[in-house]
Structure 1
Amino acid sequence: MASRHKILIVDDEPDIRELIDYHLGRDGFETFTAINGYDAIAKAKQFAPDLIILDVMMPEMDGIEACRLMRNMSQFKNTLIVFLTARSEEYSEIAGFNVGADDYIAKPIKPRALLSRINAILRRNVKQQEEDEHAKITIGDLVIDREAYLVYRGEEKIVLAKKEFELLYLLASKPGKVLTREQILKQIWEESVVVTNRTIDVHVRKLREKVGEHYVSTVKGVGYKFEL
């Protein structure tokens, strides 16, 4: 079967790497493996994967730090990053999304569910890129460039994490309209991903820190809207 996408699998446990590698390879993906965060960054630079499955708890450099470093590198701004972890604490989930994760998968691994999730994320990403190619929103001094995944405020360039950008683009595409948390979840996160209101609030807070407090307002008990 011809390879469709390149996937980097990062986990310090050999049996987990081998399990995921086997099932993804059988499903037609071109796969590479790494054993910790340092190794992941090196392999990602070498192979330019479309998606990285990144374990959170690893020696030498954990997944959170590796993701944070990669999100600050321009070549990985559109790379999908899915965290893999046995930890279920809310702070771990928030930390992952805070550094730019696209999704979160809990151990123990269920191969069929994992394949379904990976395929859904990739399909949605391809569809989104096709639909939004060359799209650009200009409101006042703010320019949101969908193709480059960049935001400009006057002459200043603002780099956002992928989910932060998608949230801003969604709100700015409907200026003045209140979007409920349910609408935001449906359009930005996969239905199979467990995302709490707290996660959305974290993304809004990060947006305000980077873009400016006055662009996104809270409608108490309902959701958020982009201010004209």
Structure 2
Amino acid sequence: MDILIVEDEAEIAQLIQLYLEKEGFACRICRDGLSALQVFQEQQPDLIILDLMIPELDGLEVCARIRQKPGAKDPYILMLTAKGEEIDRIIGLSTGADDYMVKPFSPRELVARVRALLRRNLRQGGQSRTYHTQHFTIDVDQRVAHRHVQPGKNESLDLTTLEFDLLTTFMSYPGRVWNRAQLIEKLWGSDFFGDERVVDTHVARLRKKIEPDPANPNFVKTVIGVGYKFEDAMP
């Protein structure tokens, strides 16, 4: 697994690299946002550890650009920053980050979070299933999703890795109500360390891509006080 570390403080970057390479990960370090975007296109890492406060382009802008124009891989992004206010976490997650850590941090916890994110791929491996509803089809093996816009016409959905897994989870259990903790267990695993509201962020992003009116969703519905459920008629 290849990891890109985007951190302008040399000592912190080298500490992260040391701990990750001890665990067998291949790491590369960038010190600013523009270099990070260039290396992202060249290297196609599996995961990016991204500091929020970096020169040239800040971490939020780097994260947003990667999510807007993903390469061959759609990497997991772990945002790392000295800021700990709730609004900073929410903004970071809303731009497409998968997890968030605040400095100072434990290197061992960082490694555990990296493993938790990368383990998602392992959980999805070996499946060969296709799910159909009236408006959607997902091929888990091929990792493709389509929306049926009219009879005989399908539209490909441009989903991130997490959005695809989230929609797959919903479609595999239509009508089931999921709370945040259950979705975190399904998608991140029991060793998830982050804020449960990351679920709300990714549900909102998914709705923007599949709902005619994301503010009034037809498919991914909120169950007040509980969580979310997926509703769509069978074909």
The reply to whether TM is greater than 0.5 is yes
| Residue of structure 2 in register with 1:220 after alignment | 224
Q: CA deviation at 1:225?
A: 0.9
| Residue of structure 1 in register with 2:2 after alignment | 6
Gaps of 5+ in 2: 149-153, 212-216
| Residue of structure 2 in register with 1:73 after alignment | 69
Checking the alignment, whether the CA contact within 8 Å between 1:100 and 1:161 is kept in structure 2 is no
TM-score when scaled to structure 1? Answer: 0.87
Gaps of 5+ in 1: none
What whole-Å deviation, never above 9, does each CA across 1:146-173 have from its counterpart, x for those lacking one?
Answer: 3454431122222223333322221111
Q: Secondary structure of the equivalent of 1:38? A: helix
Checking the alignment, whether the CA contact within 8 Å between 1:70 and 1:76 is kept in structure 2 is no
Checking the alignment, whether the CA contact within 8 Å between 2:129 and 2:141 is kept in structure 1 is yes
State the distance in 2 between where 1:205 and 1:120 align: 22
Checking the alignment, whether the CA contact within 8 Å between 2:116 and 2:188 is kept in structure 1 is no
Distance 1:185 1:29, change over 3 A: closer
Q: CA deviation at 1:175?
A: 0.4
What whole-Å deviation, never above 9, does each CA across 1:13-37 have from its counterpart, x for those lacking one?
Answer: 1111111112222332211110122
| Residue of structure 2 in register with 1:205 after alignment | 204
State the distance in 1 between where 2:79 and 2:139 align: 27
96-105 or 29-38: bigger deviation: 96-105
1:129 aligned to 2:127?
A: no
| Residue of structure 2 in register with 1:92 after alignment | 88
Which amino acid in structure 2 is aligned with residue 117 of structure 1? R
Give the 5 Å matches for 1:1-228: 5-75=1-71, 77-122=73-118, 124-132=119-127, 134-154=128-148, 155-190=154-189, 191-196=191-196, 198-212=197-211, 213-228=217-232
Q: Secondary structure of the equivalent of 2:71? A: helix
Q: CA deviation at 1:140?
A: 1.0
144-153 or 65-74: bigger deviation: 144-153
Which amino acid in structure 1 is aligned with residue 135 of structure 2? D
What's the C-alpha RMSD, in Å, of the aligned pairs? 2.0
State the distance in 2 between where 1:200 and 1:194 align: 10
How many matched pairs?
221
- Identity among equivalent positions (%) equals 39
Checking the alignment, whether the CA contact within 8 Å between 2:44 and 2:73 is kept in structure 1 is no
75-84 or 208-217: bigger deviation: 75-84
State the distance in 2 between where 1:152 and 1:73 align: 19
Which amino acid in structure 2 is aligned with residue 151 of structure 1? A
**Superposition misfits of 4+ residues, deviation over 6 angstroms:** none
What whole-Å deviation, never above 9, does each CA across 1:44-72 have from its counterpart, x for those lacking one?
Answer: 22222121111111121111111111122
153-162 or 213-222: bigger deviation: 153-162
Distance 1:92 1:160, change over 3 A: farther
State the distance in 1 between where 2:130 and 2:95 align: 25
Which amino acid in structure 1 is aligned with residue 166 of structure 2? L
TM-score when scaled to structure 2? Answer: 0.84
